[in-house]
Amino acid sequence: KMDCCGLLTAQKEPVPLKSVEVELQVRDHVATVVSTLNYENKEDKPLEAVFVFPLPGDAAVCHFSATIGQTQIVAEVKEKQQAREEYDDALSSGQQAFLLEESDQSPDIFSLSVGSLPPGESASIRLEYVTELAVQADDGLRFCLPAVLNPRYQPQGASVQVTSVPASLVPYSLSFSARVSSPRPVSKVESNCSLDPLQYLNIEQTQATVKLAAGHKFDRDVEVLIYYKDAHQPTAVVEAGQASAKPGSLMGDPAVMLSLYPEFPQAVMSSLASCGEFVFLLDRSGSMDDHMNDSKRDQTRIGSARDTLLLLLKSLPMGCYFNIYSFGSGYEHIFPTSVEYSQKTMEEALKTVERMGADLGGTEILKPLQHIYSQPCIPNQPRQVFVFTDGEVWNTKEIISLVKNNSGSHRCFSFGIGEGASSALINGLAKEGGGHAQFITGADRMQPKVMQSLRFALQPAVVDISVTWDLPKGVSVTVLSPPITALFQGQRSLVYAQLSGQVGAAPSQKENLPVWIFLSIKLTVHRLAARTLIRSLEMEERESRREQDGGLKKKVVELSVQSGVSSIFTAFIAVNKGDGEAIQGPLVRRNVQTPGECYFMKNKNKSHAVLKIYYQSCSPKQPPRDPLLQLVSLQKASGCWELDPALAAALGKTSEEVENTKPASVNQEVWATLLALIWLHGFKMDAQEEWELLAMKAASWLRAQNAPCVTECVKAGNALLGCNVQKVALGL
């Protein structure tokens, strides 16, 4: 029959996913996610479906089970090749089988084969994973439920094929609930989707639950932000080992997770660096022409990136060096090597940035990074690399290895733009590059997040970090996390370790140790500790593949099987041995769609045709420029403004008004710069994090001028602009 609503297959039959249920259990900085996917085969023949879905890059899958009719099957972790063979054997003998494996190229894509479903039968799949929650600029912890698997760009010859359709056509529903518990009180929980009100479960408010309001469809990522009181207190979570596991093994011993999220003294933070080599690497692939979110009125990603580069270039300190690279299928750079920052080089760069479009084809990020690292470092100018991408690449692991190998000579700050940026890529770049990762989705503005990262890059970072373990007699510790190389204000680090020996009950609190310790029954910490160790061993194995005999691979497989945490060498396999009767009729294979933009790839004789559907906005007129960006674009590299008609227009005044109110004793540039600062403080406080650095530069330029009568000028400026800004607020 013709069914015209919902997502249809090529045969005009509905895709058999019915609903998704998700429970989130947050324990301080980490979480366990339990999701249930419900399917139904509405066809009159057995069906083999494959569902490809994304996970956070540092997630650890730890449970996978399937219920078909009355039968429940629980999956086990096995070596990948063995799992695939068992899956094929089961299907060919007519048994139901389910296989879950990680993509070799990108750890945040899992493909799920749901095997052979008899006609009319329902199947429910339950998947659990654990993950660390990222810290946001305002101390919130971010959990994002991955909904979109972007049509990722694939260099020719790549094997995985992903089809994606408009979200409004996805015929399955979502129910979502979260339970939060922490040593500190939960102050609030926010989301980009409607939530039912937060319910506290105890008087101390350290436990709470929250639910997604009814009627949600999978039309965007579900993002949840959790805020705690005393967010900067360090905490330790100790978790008892698994009774059934071997003592002395990672799963058998207690595990501990230490969270460090320090706040630095204001005096340290105010000394911003005035040097550095800043290299900006901008994605100009076709998908950067997409809008920042679903509303077509919104700016495109590339437009937002151009505005952000304007703010960045105006905020750089005099005396530093910089360059801008952009990439697609190939790459370009504005200067052959990094140049000293001056009015001339800044203007030249801005002219080029204004012309940048999303016109360079695919997303090949490896080659420009190799080129950047091949340039010699400039003495006394620490290199800082800023990468902007919507994360649609296939060789994630290769890119991250490259950054790791060069981590001694630079810091890498990364920005994932849009709903489907790969968290494995964005988090991996920042983690291995000692920098910070930011995600810009939905209605987020790119500018404040990027400017926060520039503040990190200009900050003195804490280096030479060591953690000392003060343990009871007879207890020893094995740290499983890689050593922490740098800490920034606003950056959180988690350290995992295994405790062995006579570990009794939780040790008593010492006066000077602001650490909260509890024993937990869920193995969230153990599994994240195993995941951390597995990821390190996988990288090591990848780098030393030529010289060794597979010993590291064996270690990873062993740890993966023991902890129930998947790796690139293992897969979850579940087979329903049932009554073993062969299923009648031919098997049909279906690719279940995930929402996004329309995108079809056909691969015939190695050449491939691509059909992409974009929605063009109907008004061709250039939107008026944001007054803030208009004012910022007029600032000179030194930090000052010039008194000219363009400045008057940006301030909403005529040239005469601006010139006639200037006190006689002060020069034009000082007057212009004071007016710009008064306007920013008077009208744009809501966007202060975007202009704060360039205003600090303007204030230090003003102080260096030793201008007379600043107080009188501030008074005259306030009168002209109708503001009431105090001189001290301007930093003068």
Spatial contact of 62 and 523, defined as CB atoms under 8 Å apart: yes
Under the banding of pLDDT at 50, 70 and 90, the label for residue 382 is: confident
pLDDT for the residue 509: 45
Under the banding of pLDDT at 50, 70 and 90, the label for residue 126 is: confident
User: Among 89-103, 243-257, 317-331, 611-625, which range has the highest average pLDDT?
Assistant: 317-331
Task: Flag whether pLDDT at 136 surpasses 70.
Answer: yes
Classify strands 186-191 and 199-200 as parallel, antiparallel or unpaired: unpaired
Q: CA 154: distance to chain centroid? A: 20
pLDDT for the residue 581: 46
Query: How large is the average pLDDT for residues 372-390?
Result: 88
The secondary structure of residue 588, as a DSSP letter, is E
Cβ atoms < 10 Å from Cβ of 475: 15
Which pair of tokens denotes residue 192? Answer: 């980009």
pLDDT for the residue 616: 25
Query: How large is the average pLDDT for residues 209-225?
Result: 77
Spatial contact of 696 and 459, defined as CB atoms under 8 Å apart: no
Distances in Å between the Cα of 459 and the Cα atoms of 275, 380, 499 are: 11, 15, 35
Domain that holds residue 338: 272-459
Say if 617 falls within a structural domain. Answer: no
182 and 300 part of one domain: no
Task: Flag whether pLDDT at 594 surpasses 50.
Answer: no
How far apart CA 231 and CA 29 sit, in angstroms, is 10
- Which SS3 state, helix, strand or coil, does residue 577 take? coil
If we measure between CA atoms, which residue out of 258, 254, 261, 260 comes closest to residue 520?
254
Give the number of C-alpha atoms closer than 13 A to the C-alpha of residue 258, restricted to the C-beta side. Answer: 20
If we measure between CA atoms, which residue out of 518, 567, 630 comes closest to residue 397?
567
Task: Flag whether pLDDT at 152 surpasses 50.
Answer: no
Q: Which of 183-197, 280-294, 458-472, 551-565 has the lowest mean pLDDT?
A: 458-472
Q: How many structural domains is the chain composed of? A: 4
More confident residue, 139 or 70: 139
How far apart CA 685 and CA 694 sit, in angstroms, is 14
Which pair of tokens denotes residue 98? Answer: 């389910």
How far apart CA 168 and CA 170 sit, in angstroms, is 6
How far apart CA 671 and CA 42 sit, in angstroms, is 74
CA dihedral 443, 446, 448, 451 (to 10 degrees): 170
100 and 66 part of one domain: yes
Q: Which of 193-207, 366-380, 385-399, 495-509 has the lowest mean pLDDT?
A: 495-509
327 and 375 part of one domain: yes
242 and 163 part of one domain: no
223 and 326 part of one domain: no
More confident residue, 521 or 672: 672
Which amino acid, one-letter code, is at 618?
C
217 and 157 part of one domain: yes
The pTM assigned to this predicted structure is 0.65
Q: CA 8: distance to chain centroid? A: 32
How far apart CA 44 and CA 119 sit, in angstroms, is 5
Under the banding of pLDDT at 50, 70 and 90, the label for residue 729 is: confident
pLDDT for the residue 57: 63
More confident residue, 312 or 542: 312
The secondary structure of residue 686, as a DSSP letter, is G
If residue 304 lies in a helix (H) or strand (E), which one and from where to where?
A: helix 301-315
If residue 528 lies in a helix (H) or strand (E), which one and from where to where?
A: helix 524-543
Under the banding of pLDDT at 50, 70 and 90, the label for residue 577 is: low
Q: Encode pLDDT of 80-89 as tens digits.
A: 889 889 888 8
Query: How large is the average pLDDT for residues 549-556?
Result: 84
Task: Flag whether pLDDT at 587 surpasses 50.
Answer: no
CATH code of the domain containing 156? 2.60.40.1730
**Which of 396, 429, 459 finishes a domain?**
459
Spatial contact of 543 and 528, defined as CB atoms under 8 Å apart: no
Distances in Å between the Cα of 63 and the Cα atoms of 18, 37, 85, 520, 577 are: 21, 13, 21, 18, 19
pLDDT for the residue 516: 53
Which pair of tokens denotes residue 328? Answer: 């697609």
Spatial contact of 629 and 307, defined as CB atoms under 8 Å apart: yes
- Which SS3 state, helix, strand or coil, does residue 491 take? coil
CATH code of the domain containing 382? 3.40.50.410
User: How big, in percent rounded to 5, are the helix, strand and coil portions of the chain?
Assistant: 25, 30, 45
Which pair of tokens denotes residue 595? Answer: 């929402």
Q: Which of 54-58, 246-250, 430-434, 585-589 has the lowest mean pLDDT?
A: 585-589
Distances in Å between the Cα of 660 and the Cα atoms of 567, 651, 720 are: 71, 15, 10
211 and 239 part of one domain: no
The secondary structure of residue 510, as a DSSP letter, is P
Task: Flag whether pLDDT at 168 surpasses 70.
Answer: no
If we measure between CA atoms, which residue out of 123, 144, 141 comes closest to residue 55?
144
Q: Which of 169-183, 212-226, 267-281, 574-588 has the lowest mean pLDDT?
A: 574-588
210 and 81 part of one domain: yes
Task: Flag whether pLDDT at 53 surpasses 50.
Answer: yes
Say if 585 falls within a structural domain. Answer: yes
Q: Encode pLDDT of 673-714 as tens digits.
A: 999 999 999 888 878 888 888 888 898 888 888 887 888 889
pLDDT for the residue 38: 82
438 and 481 part of one domain: no
pLDDT for the residue 417: 86
Say if 391 falls within a structural domain. Answer: yes
The secondary structure of residue 618, as a DSSP letter, is S
Q: Encode pLDDT of 81-125 as tens digits.
A: 898 898 888 888 877 777 877 666 665 666 666 666 778 888 788
For 126-164, b where at least 16 C-beta lie within 10 A, e where not — what string? bbbbbbbbbbbbebbbebbbbbbbbbbbbeeeeeeebbb
How far apart CA 324 and CA 341 sit, in angstroms, is 12
Say if 612 falls within a structural domain. Answer: no
Under the banding of pLDDT at 50, 70 and 90, the label for residue 54 is: low
Q: Which of 232-236, 265-269, 279-283 has the lowest mean pLDDT?
A: 265-269
472 and 542 part of one domain: yes
Task: Flag whether pLDDT at 607 surpasses 70.
Answer: no
To the nearest whole percent, how much of the chain has pLDDT over 70? 74
Under the banding of pLDDT at 50, 70 and 90, the label for residue 205 is: very high
For 404-431, b where at least 16 C-beta lie within 10 A, e where not — what string? bebbeebbbbbbbbbbbbbbbbbbbbbb
Q: What is the largest CA-CA distance in the chain?
A: 98
Classify strands 173-181 and 164-165 as parallel, antiparallel or unpaired: unpaired
If we measure between CA atoms, which residue out of 683, 672, 687 comes closest to residue 634?
672
pLDDT for the residue 498: 92
Say if 620 falls within a structural domain. Answer: no
DSSP string, 4-28: -SS-B-TTS-B-SEEEEEEEEEEET
How far apart CA 542 and CA 341 sit, in angstroms, is 39
DSSP string, 407-470: TTSEEEEEEEESTT--HHHHHHHHHHTTS-EEEE-TT--HHHHHHHHHHHHHSPPB-S------
Q: 510-516 long-range contacts, Cβ below 8 Å, gap at least 24? A: 514/233, 514/234, 515/234, 515/235, 515/236, 516/183, 516/184, 516/235, 516/236, 516/237
Task: Flag whether pLDDT at 9 surpasses 60.
Answer: no
How far apart CA 357 and CA 379 sit, in angstroms, is 34
pLDDT for the residue 105: 61
Say if 370 falls within a structural domain. Answer: yes
More confident residue, 546 or 255: 255
Under the banding of pLDDT at 50, 70 and 90, the label for residue 219 is: low
How far apart CA 701 and CA 711 sit, in angstroms, is 16
Say if 330 falls within a structural domain. Answer: yes
pLDDT for the residue 5: 23
pLDDT for the residue 149: 27
If residue 225 lies in a helix (H) or strand (E), which one and from where to where?
A: strand 222-228
Say if 8 falls within a structural domain. Answer: no
How far apart CA 373 and CA 540 sit, in angstroms, is 21
36 and 155 part of one domain: yes
Residue reference for tokens 């980490």: 30
114 and 213 part of one domain: yes
